[in-house]
Chain A
Amino acid sequence: MKKYLSLMLLFSAFMMQAQAPTLKAGQAAPDFKLKNVDGKEISFASYPDAKGFIVVFTCNTCPYAIGYEQRIIDLDNKYRSKGYPVIAINPNDPEASKADTFDKMQALAKEKKYPFAYLFDPGQVVTDQYGAKRTPHLFIVSKSAKGTVVEYTGAIDNDPEGTKTDKTKFAESVIDALNSNQKPAITETKEIGCTVKRKAKA
């Protein structure tokens, strides 16, 4: 009985903890093994030559994510050859957001010819490990002697509407710094975005 009660407590604590804290620069970046839209499983080990990763939590539906879609494709095209490929993860629960099912992810990746992996996160486990709060929510990760480390969390640039001629390109600055063996000047930014869609709590 006691065991049952503590399990219940643990479970309710877990439900309350749905708002996991967002990883910050300097913290370990957890590896994962998630299914890509091509059916293959992807982890950090799938990229033996990479120096790091642009892990971006994004989705099919959010207008901010759609607004940034081409810029995410451009990031991959520019930085894959420089050692930082994009790995996109959809953080939304497909029951809570019907347009974010695996099938619909496959359709979008095909239609837009995503050059990067677009992964499904069953149970939103990786989403919570990283503490991804919104779409798009970007994490730049580098490989180090101690393992994979978060270097930056936040926005891609300071222009979600895509109208500024002189954008501050946060993500690019971070990777350019890392590639010249410097510590990034900015390690965290904030931006408006769509909340991660979760099943309604009972």
Chain B
Amino acid sequence: MKVKTFKIMLFLFLAISIKAYSQQVKLLNIDQLNERVKQGQDSTYVVNFWATWCAPCIKELPHFEKLGLEHQSDKVVVLLVSVDFKSKLNSAVIPFVKRKKMQSEVFLLNESSPQDYIDRIDPSWSGSIPATLFIKKEKRKFIESELTYEQLLTEYKKL
């Protein structure tokens, strides 16, 4: 009986932690982002920079989720990198990701100096969000504006 209770408890614990895992938000710096992209040479990476306080970002996030889901078979990887303050990870970013049931990989940018990291993403970036970086092998395309699903799909297919 006791063993059975334990098993149930264990199952519940695992179930809850797996659910939590699927919605976790990891910290990521630019080196880690570059490493992540380098590892998946055969994939296309669509890296969107957003924040929970940015209305146009929130509006376009579902387009990125849709792209990731509908083009899973072409090895597209959608990385949603939040530029929220690090202090907002638990109070804003994680609750947002859970509430929206986001499926893509979500990160919080772990960099402290925008002077350095903005240029490392793309020298043309002024720092406004939303902004999106497309990477396919050696090709990089950076867009500093809001995208409709059609625009996103067009840019993705152009790569």
Give the chain A neighbours of B115 by CB distance below 8 A: 158, 189-190
Residue A196 at the chain B interface, CB threshold 8 Å: yes
Total A-B pairs in contact (CB under 8 Å)?
56
In Å, the complex CA distance between A131 and B97 comes to 33
Q: How many positions in chain A have a CB within 8 Å of any CB in the partner chain?
A: 20
Question: Complex Cα distance A155/B130, Å?
Answer: 18
Contacts of B155 in A (CB 8 A): none
With A161-B87, A195-B56 as known contacts, state yes or no: A190 contacts B114, CB within 8 Å.
Answer: yes
Residues in A whose Cβ lies below 8 Å from that of B87: 161, 163
Question: Which of A137, A158, A161, A163 contacts B126 (CB under 8 A)?
Answer: A137
Q: Which of A137, A163, A191 has the most CB of B within 10 A?
A: A191
How many residues on the B side are at the interface (Cβ–Cβ under 8 A)? Answer: 21
Query: Nearest-CB distance from A80 to chain B (Å)?
Result: 27
Contact partner of B128 (CB less than 8 A), chosen from A63, A163, A194, is: A194
Q: Which of B55-88 contact A (CB under 8 A)?
A: 56, 83, 85, 87
Is the Cβ of B53 less than 8 Å from the Cβ of A134? Answer: no
A63 CB → nearest B CB, Å = 4
Within 8 A of A (CB), among B2-41: none
Partner of B118, one of A19, A63, A190, A194: A190
With A63-B53, A190-B118 known as contacts, the answer to whether A195 contacts B85 (CB < 8 A) is no
Verify if A101 is at the interface (C-beta below 8 Å from B): no
Q: How far is the CA of A196 from the CA of B56 in the complex (A)?
A: 10
Main secondary structure of the interface of A (DSSP, over half): loop
Contact of B83 among A133, A192, A195, A196 (CB under 8 A): A192
* Contact across chains for A195 and B145 when beta carbons are under 8 A apart: yes
Q: Which residue of chain A is the closest to B113 with respect to CB atoms?
A: A158
Q: With an 8 A cutoff between CB atoms, is A193 at the interface?
A: yes
Q: How far is the CA of A21 from the CA of B54 in the complex (A)?
A: 23
Docked pose: A160 CA to B118 CA in angstroms: 15
Binary interface profile of A, 142-168, with partner B (CB < 8 Å = 1, else 0)? 000000000000010010110100000
Q: A161-B87, A189-B115 are in contact. Are A133 and B144 (CB under 8 A)?
A: yes
Closest to B123 in A: A190
Q: How far is the CB of A129 from chain B (nearest CB, A)?
A: 15
CB of B127 within 8 A of chain A? yes
How far apart sit A148 and B127, CA to CA, in the bound complex (Å)?
Answer: 26
Q: Is B129 an interface residue (CB 8 A)?
A: yes
* A77 CB within 8 Å of chain B: no
Q: Most chain-A Cβ atoms within 10 A of its Cβ — which of B51, B85, B128?
A: B128
Query: A22–B119 Cα gap in the complex (Å)?
Result: 15
**4 A-B pairs closest in CB distance:** A134-B128, A133-B126, A195-B128, A63-B53
8 A-B contact pairs sorted by A residue (CB < 8 Å): A19-B144, A134-B126, A190-B126, A194-B128, A195-B56, A195-B128, A195-B130, A196-B128
Could you tell me which B residues sit within 8 Å of A by CB distance?
A: 51, 53-54, 56, 83, 85, 87, 113-115, 118-119, 125-130, 144-146
Chain A residues at the B interface, C-beta cutoff of 8 Å: 19, 22, 63, 133-134, 137, 155, 158, 160-161, 163, 189-197
